[in-house]
Structure 1
């Protein structure tokens, strides 16, 4: 069967540095009628499991470790047996949500596998390539799917600019370097499927680099 992309929006909160904000997250499911992967198990495990249905869930892939992107990962993993994958540079963020002390969290035994740059993940006859794109967080990654003409950017690149870098573990020059050297080298027609909000195109964002740098977004 032909691989496709299913889209789910879940609602919850993001918490870091003592603050909490309401927001919607994009959850992307890549696969066919038989198998799939989930990209960013955000907020609502029941909604994600319903969207997966009776397909075999091969993996739960995390673009980064902020709580709004991983909050449902352990529950979805427990329900399906699918492994969670996260870049190890974001382990500290994972442990803010799922403490290492088993007495503190019933889901603490679910530890993520380590993603690495250039790793390829097969699903439904296509491959997703892991692109390490630090800046929004140290372990932020994007998942490139050339066969589908798309990249799943998490919070690294949005419609209108780079992800936020004003909180702990983030860095503006680093995210600009990641976007410039990694994402903007993808074909201009590549669809950027983001962690929040609407999708965009690599070509539409490429012309705004100097503007982003000037405003220090």
Structure 2
């Protein structure tokens, strides 16, 4: 599996072109659709996937879908409140992108196992394939997703990050912004949510 990171847009969103043989999926096409199409290198785009529906992760969705006919996938919990999730965008000087109606990714999509990891948004997902996990804005190198935006939930985020820490420690984390890391590194030393926090969470929430 080949992973190409393309940093796009004014918020430096990580878009990923993930390929196996002649097939590719684009994860979080935040902007600059033509760059992402070039990154395919002539290979077939079989799906476009958003880890969540904040505007900076979906700005090029319509462009890719129109150019290739590939289906678009996002969790229905985000789609139901898409406009509300992005109500802050105009105050930051951004328009809310118009999107095609997404399909539900379910629990398995192409090479990916799909994990529902809410908290940053209600419909945030993480995608696990091979030695990689694409975490969107749930888990970063040395940080975790914001929950002060509309419909964020810190308790849900904590549970989601703790769920990610149950994955093998060698998995490479490809986040929505910033450099990659590993599950093991974040479980050991993330200053916001680490394995110790997860242990305390399990003890205080027995049901």
Please report the TM-score for the alignment, with normalisation by the length of structure 1.
0.79
Structure 2 residue corresponding to 1:200, chosen from 181, 185, 190: 181
How far apart are the structure 1 equivalents of 2:20 and 2:64? 19
1:129 aligned to 2:113?
yes
Shift in CA distance, 191/106, structure 1 to aligned 2, threshold 3 Å: closer
Aligned length: 186
Change (3 A) 1:107 1:139: closer
Separation in 2, partners of 1:64, 1:83: 16
SS of the residue 1:212 aligns to: coil
Cα RMSD after superposing both structures:
2.4
Structure 1 consecutive aligned stretches of length 4 or more whose deviation exceeds 6 Å: none
1:207 offset after TM fit, Å? 2.2
How far the C-alpha of 1:115 sits from its partner, in A, is: 2.2
Q: TM (normalized to structure 2)?
A: 0.82
Task: State the partner residue of 2:64.
Answer: 76
CA distance in 1, matches of 2:137, 2:161: 11
TM-aligned CA deviation for residue 32 of structure 1: 3.5
Higher strand fraction (1 or 2): 1
Residue 94 of structure 1 deviates from its aligned partner by 3.7
Gaps spanning 5+ residues in structure 1: where? Answer: 13-22, 99-104
Structure 2 partner of 1:112: 102
Deviation at 1:171, TM superposition (A): 0.8
Q: CA deviation at 1:52?
A: 1.5
CA contact (8 A) 2:84 2:150 kept: no
Post-superposition CA distance 1:54-87 (Å, at most 9, x none): 2110000110000000111011101000010000
Answer whether contact 2:133 2:173 (CA < 8 A) is retained: yes
Counterpart of 2:9 in structure 1 is 11
Cα pair 1:63 1:86 within 8 Å, conserved: yes
Map Cα deviations across residues 128-159 of structure 1 (whole Å, 9 max, x no partner).
110000000000000001x2x11000000000
Report the CA distance between 1:92 and its aligned residue.
4.1
Counterpart CA distance in 2 for 1:57 and 1:167 is 32
3-state SS of paired residue (1:207): helix
